[in-house]
Amino acid sequence: MKDQLEGKRIELMSTSDPYTNLRPGDRGTVDVVDDTGTIHVNWDNGSTLGLIPGEDRFRIIDDRSK
């Protein structure tokens, strides 16, 4: 999964984190996938929340048009 995601643009679909300011539709770039599988993202709004597969939902987007 690391090689498939690192550097990719993603869009948040949902998160189980009740404390985040992120909302569905927010976008960011995957920085790194750690050994536990957490997907660390540099979100466009400045957040650095990591996504947990199976808990949080996202999709890979094609952002080359920007």
- Please give the torsion angle defined by the CA atoms of residues 51, 52, 56 and 62, in that order, rounded to the nearest 10 degrees: 50
Task: For the chain of 66 residues, list the mean pLDDT of each consecutive stretch of 10.
Answer: 87 95 97 96 95 95 68
CATH number of 2-61, picked from 3.65.10.10, 3.30.2320.50, 3.40.50.150, 2.30.30.100 = 2.30.30.100
| Residue 57 and residue 16 in contact, taking contact as beta carbons nearer than 8 Å | no
Q: What is the pTM of this model?
A: 0.86
Q: What pLDDT score does 29 carry?
A: 97
